[in-house]
Structure 1
Amino acid sequence: MAHDARDGRSESVEERADRQWQELIQEIRVAQTGVQILFGFLLTVAFTPHFQSLPETDKVIYIVTVVLGALATGALIGPVSFHRIVSGRRIKPEAVAWASRLTFTGLILLLATCTCALLLVLRVATDNAVVPWLVAGVLAWYLLCWFVLPLWARVRYTAAD
């Protein structure tokens, strides 16, 4: 059994793929829950009486938000389908790589969905002059939490090969 100690573990390629798959599935569970709740809520908005009186701009933002939510849902559920279809074909390392790509794409789409949903809600709920500033601030927070801090930690704490 070949072992790869590059990551400080004594595990085979197959064991590493199994571990990475389990870690990825745990991550997806968190993101899937959020995107599914948000997407489900978004789907109901068009059926409310208030929706019909929204200005065209807000309806366009809504449509873009729903489409982004649908795309995020697809990308975050995609790894499950991918795994099911390729299961037993002895390509788990490749499945992990593709599932990871789908998950990252889903996170980008979730970021866009959350930002657009916030834009729409704040446009309806408050003075339009302050909305861009609030949305920009929350977007900056998302970027910091989801990408900047992890990338900083990756650079800071990862030894160069």
Structure 2
Amino acid sequence: MRPDGDDEGRHETELERLDRNWASLVQELRVVQTGVQFLVGALLLLPFQAEFAAVSQQMRVLYLVTVCSAFGAAVFLVAPVSWHRILFRRHRLGHVVAAAHRCALAGIALLGVALTGSLILVVDVVAGDAAGVVAGIVTAVLFAATWLIAPWRWRARSRPHP
């Protein structure tokens, strides 16, 4: 692919393009699924630690938001497997790729929320409330800049050919 996003040189059929897109998406999902599963497991252990009793009500709410976001990320990032299995050999690869794309975006957004919440919880316990707030703001801005703003800016600059 050329840097401007032009795929004209591929000379592939629609089905070949869908197969390539599906393979690329599955590889991307493999990268994030393992991390999300680890995060969910680590978060599930926290309330069963003796120190959790000392966590403020505000941090308990943040913990619940974080756990729910991590679970939501896991659901959305694994959903494409279900879509593929259910629609397998039904000649619906275009639907599977489109749905998996949307699920991946939702899962990545929820992962950003879960990671931000996790960092706030850790920094709050280790360094105090103010440091936790600063860490949360910095992390949220970092995720927004690297996961959303930069890719959307590049996308806007590289319009696909009709």
The CA deviation at 1:111 is 0.8
* Structure 2 stretches lacking a partner, 5+ long: 1-5
- The residue aligned with 1:98 is 99
Is the helix fraction higher in 1 or 2? 2
Tell me, yes or no, if the aligned pair for 2:77 and 2:103 is still in contact at 8 Å: yes
**Cα distance in structure 1, aligned partners of 2:70 and 2:151:** 24
Please say if residues 69 and 109 of structure 1, whose CA atoms lie closer than 8 Å, have aligned partners that are also in contact.
yes
Name the counterpart of 2:113. 112
Larger relative CO (CA 8 A, sep 6+): 1 or 2? 2
1:99 to partner: Cα distance: 0.6
1:146 corresponds to which residue? 147
| Distance in structure 2 (CA, Å) of the matches to 1:138 and 1:112 | 10
Aligned mates of 2:145, 2:24 — CA distance in 1 = 22
Task: Write the distance in 2 (CA, Å) between the matches of 1:138 and 1:160.
Answer: 36
| C-alpha contact (below 8 Å) 1:72/1:110 kept by paired residues | yes
For this pair of structures, how many residues does the alignment match? 156
* Per-residue deviation, 1:157: 3.8
The 3-state SS of whatever aligns with 2:74 is: helix
Contact kept in structure 2, 1:39 and 1:70, CA below 8 Å: yes
User: Could you tell me which residue of structure 2 aligns to residue 7 of structure 1?
Assistant: 7
Partner of 1:89: 90
Q: Distance in 2 between matches of 1:131 and 1:114?
A: 13
Q: Is the 1:13–1:93 contact (alpha carbons within 8 Å) kept by the matching residues of 2?
A: no
**Closer/same/farther in 2, CA of residues 21 and 144 from structure 1, 3 Å limit:** same
Q: % of aligned pairs identical?
A: 35
Amino acid in the other structure paired with 1:91: R
Moved over 2 A (4+): 155-161
Q: Which moved more, 1:125-134 or 1:82-91?
A: 125-134
In structure 2, distance between residues paired with 1:64 and 1:139: 15
Once the two structures are superposed, residues 39-74 of structure 1 have per-residue CA deviations (whole angstroms, 9 ceiling, x without a partner) of: 111011111111122122211211111111111100
Q: Is the 8 A contact 1:32 1:73 kept in 2?
A: yes
Q: TM-score by structure 2 length?
A: 0.89
* Aligned equivalent of 1:75: 76
Q: Distance in 2 between matches of 1:52 and 1:91?
A: 50
Q: In structure 2, what is the equivalent of residue 121 of structure 1? A: 122
Q: Which residue of 2 aligns with 1:50?
A: 51
Q: CA RMSD in A?
A: 1.6
